[in-house]
């Protein structure tokens, strides 16, 4: 039996955020443990999983399109097993079988650690299997993960979200906040260090409330301080922070640490207090501005990035202009900008004054124009300076170049030369800054 399983091949396609990336790594880990090997050639796979996102409608449409494409492969190979996982699976459940009859199983976000049992059931039952629990039964601690890459790894520290921002589907598909025990996290990071990983990113939908489900007030600050002690790791990142929960204790730990990177991703979502209140974000622009001032005072070299949604219900032209002005005041290093997408079941979906798509698109463009100018101006200031980069590997678009990141998470490209440098910390002198990447030359090499 084992022999037949051993020759099987799998492909796992991942959409959405880093949490999904990490879940996929745990799918791959589990499937490897029962003899599957990875292939990126879908037409050679015996098992294809799509790990889905449903944060915006556009993501869902793209994913349903991809699921549709797999029908052709199933026609050629009737033994092909097709599974749908992730947030859209949690939301749509057996609807997925109705929309796509060639799908064999649907696995929810709370069942990630149950994949091998599920696959065995699918293989034996020869019928569709739906495995979507409404709640997490326990934290999935003992699931092997096969990490993409060898330099940088994601480590989840908490699952779920309690915030219920009125636009957001995540609390409905990822459940309530559950923090992993600190010792388990540290053990995992030490192990990654021993395997040669140099950078870790602590993951959670709201990392700043780490430990609060266990009545620890400054749990995240304490965790960061502990992770900072892990010898073999050179750089520590974390995401995502909720501005309301980012506090002085965390900023102080970052300030004292050598390894926690000077990068703050703090999604503001809107620069209008009226819109922020309707979004249920729990802070004002004044609060946020003070927070940024504190960070810049304590960590002057910090890069600060954000997420912004345009076209939230009731966002008038005037309120949108407040967001534009806010961008100009704060001067973010980068902003990830999104068009508001109605998610049914969320409070904002039934709010009055929904904004027409054409208007939302125009606002997005205006926002990007302002932000791109600012990003470029900030990056230009780096021209002529020497930065420390952690080498991740060849550039995606040009394999004569290597790609690495600064501690502030800027992407740096330079000409590949000399022996293998992946995983090393090198100095690069920046000679050409662009909006999203900076180009340079190896310095003193
Ligand atoms: N529409 C548009 N963008 C959204 N986001 C979350 N929900 C929605 C939605 N319904 C954005 C937020 C969040 C990022 C991950 O996705 O900006 O920070
Ligand atoms: Fe990640 Fe949210 Fe998308 Fe789920 S819905 S994959 S949590 S971004």
Task: Please tell me whether 165 is known to bind a ligand.
Answer: yes
Give the right CATH number for 263-381 from 3.30.750.200, 1.20.59.10, 3.10.20.600, 3.20.20.150.
3.30.750.200
Where along the chain do the CATH 3.40.50.2300 domains lie?
2-131
Task: Count other C-beta atoms under 10 Å from residue 65's C-beta.
Answer: 9
Residue among 312, 310, 338, 305 at smallest CA distance from 324? 310
pLDDT of residue 404: 97
- HEC readout, 186-247: HHHHHHHHHCCCCEEEEECCCHHHCCHHHCCCCHHHHHHHHHCCCCCCCEEEEECCCHHHCC
- Closest atom of ligand 2 to 174 CA is 7
Strands 158-159 and 178-179, by their bridges, are antiparallel
Task: Count other C-beta atoms under 10 Å from residue 6's C-beta.
Answer: 11
The CATH number that domain 148-261 falls under is 3.30.750.210
pLDDT of residue 372: 98
Q: How far apart are CA 336 and CA 289, in angstroms?
A: 18
pLDDT of residue 1: 46
pLDDT of residue 76: 96
Q: Which long-range contacts (CB under 8 A, 24 or more apart) does 38-45 make?
A: 38/9, 38/10, 38/11, 38/12, 38/146, 39/9, 39/10, 39/11, 40/11, 41/11, 42/11, 42/70, 42/73, 43/73, 43/76, 44/9, 45/9, 45/10, 45/11, 45/73, 45/80
> What tokens appear for 249 in the block?
């204790």
> What tokens appear for 420 in the block?
């293998």
Q: Which residues surround ligand 1 with Cβ inside 6 Å?
A: 55-56, 167-168, 267, 269, 307, 309, 338, 340-341, 343
Q: How far apart are CA 197 and CA 189, in angstroms?
A: 9
pLDDT of residue 5: 47
Task: Please tell me whether 87 is known to bind a ligand.
Answer: yes
Where along the chain do the CATH 2.40.50.140 domains lie?
386-442
Task: Please tell me whether 261 is known to bind a ligand.
Answer: no
Nearest protein Cα to ligand 1, atom 14: 307
Where along the chain do the CATH 3.30.750.200 domains lie?
263-381
* CATH architecture, range 386-442: Beta Barrel (2.40)
Dist. CA 375 → ligand 2 center (Å)? 26
Q: Which residues surround ligand 2 with Cβ inside 6 Å?
A: 16-17, 19-20, 53-55, 86-87, 169-170, 173-174
Q: Which of 338, 339, 344 to mutate to test the pocket of ligand 1 (most atoms within 8 A of CB)?
A: 338
pLDDT of residue 445: 66
Instruction: List, in sequence order, every residue forming a beta bridge with 308; answer none if it has no partner.
Output: 269, 337
Instruction: List, in sequence order, every residue forming a beta bridge with 47; answer none if it has no partner.
Output: 10, 81
pTM given for the model: 0.94
Q: What 8-state DSSP symbol labels residue 7? A: T
Residue among 272, 207, 282, 205 at smallest CA distance from 244? 282
Residue among 150, 144, 199, 185 at smallest CA distance from 23? 144
pLDDT of residue 140: 67
Fold classification of 2-131 (topology level) = Rossmann fold (3.40.50)
Q: How far apart are CA 268 and CA 265, in angstroms?
A: 9
User: What phi-psi label fits residue 254: left (phi over 0), alpha (psi between -120 and 50 degrees) or beta?
Assistant: alpha
Dist. CA 87 → ligand 2 center (Å)? 6
Provide the residue-wise pLDDT of the chain in tens; the chain has 445 residues. 444 445 799 999 999 999 999 999 999 999 999 999 999 999 999 999 999 999 999 999 999 999 999 999 999 999 999 999 999 999 999 999 999 999 999 999 999 999 999 999 998 887 899 999 998 877 767 788 999 889 999 999 999 999 999 999 999 999 999 999 999 999 999 999 999 999 999 999 999 999 998 888 899 999 999 999 999 999 999 999 999 999 999 999 999 999 999 999 999 999 999 999 999 999 999 999 999 999 999 999 999 999 999 999 999 999 999 999 999 999 999 999 999 999 999 999 999 999 999 999 999 999 999 999 999 999 999 999 999 999 999 999 998 999 999 999 999 999 998 788 899 999 999 999 999 999 999 998 6
Exposure class string for 387-410: b at 16+ Cβ within 10 A, else e: bbbbbbbebeeeeeebbbbbbbbb
pLDDT of residue 6: 52
């Amino acid at each position: 039996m084992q022999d037949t399983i051993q020759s099987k091949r799998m492909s796992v396609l991942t959409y959405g955020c880093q949490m999904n990336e990490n879940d996929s790594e745990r799918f791959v880990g589990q499937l490897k443990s029962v003899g599957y090997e990875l292939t990126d050639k879908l037409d050679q796979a015996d098992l294809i999983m799509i790990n889905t996102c449903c944060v915006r409608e556009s993501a869902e449409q793209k994913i349903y399109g991809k699921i549709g494409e797999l029908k052709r492969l199933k026609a050629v190979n009737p033994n092909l097993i097709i599974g749908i996982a992730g947030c859209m699976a949690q939301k749509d459940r057996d609807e997925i079988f109705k929309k796509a009859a060639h799908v064999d199983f649907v696995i929810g976000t709370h069942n990630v650690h149950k994949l091998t049992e599920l696959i065995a059931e699918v293989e034996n039952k020869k019928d569709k299997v739906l495995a979507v629990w409404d709640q997490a039964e326990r934290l999935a601690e003992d699931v092997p993960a096969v990490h993409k890459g060898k330099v940088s790894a994601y480590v989840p520290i908490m699952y779920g979200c309690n915030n219920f921002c009125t636009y957001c589907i995540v609390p409905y598909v990822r459940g309530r906040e559950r923090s992993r025990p600190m010792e388990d996290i540290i053990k995992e990071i030490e192990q990654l260090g021993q395997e040669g990983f140099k950078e870790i990113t602590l993951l959670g939908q709201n990392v700043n409330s780490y430990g609060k489900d266990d009545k620890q007030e400054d749990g995240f600050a304490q965790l960061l301080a502990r992770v900072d002690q892990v010898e073999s790791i050179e750089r520590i990142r974390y995401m995502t922070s909720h501005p309301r929960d980012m506090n002085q204790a965390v900023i102080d730990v970052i300030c004292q640490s050598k390894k926690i990177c000077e990068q703050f991703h703090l999604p503001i979502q809107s620069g209008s207090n009226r819109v922020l209140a309707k979004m249920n974000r729990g802070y004002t622009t004044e609060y946020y501005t003070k927070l940024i001032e504190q960070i810049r005072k304590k960590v002057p070299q910090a890069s600060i990035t954000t997420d912004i949604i345009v076209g939230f219900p009731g966002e008038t032209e005037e309120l949108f202009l407040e967001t534009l002005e806010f961008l100009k005041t704060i001067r973010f290093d980068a902003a990830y900008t999104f068009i508001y997408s109605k998610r049914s079941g969320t409070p904002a979906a039934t709010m009055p004054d929904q904004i027409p798509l054409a208007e939302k698109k125009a606002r997005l463009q205006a926002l990007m124009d302002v932000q791109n100018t600012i990003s470029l101006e900030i990056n230009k200031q780096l021209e002529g300076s020497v930065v420390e980069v952690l080498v991740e590997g060849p550039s995606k678009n040009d394999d004569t170049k290597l790609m690495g990141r600064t501690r502030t998470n800027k992407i740096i490209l330079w000409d590949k030369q000399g022996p293998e440098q992946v995983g090393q910390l090198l100095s690069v002198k920046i000679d050409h800054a662009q909006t999203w990447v900076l180009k340079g030359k190896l310095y003193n090499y």
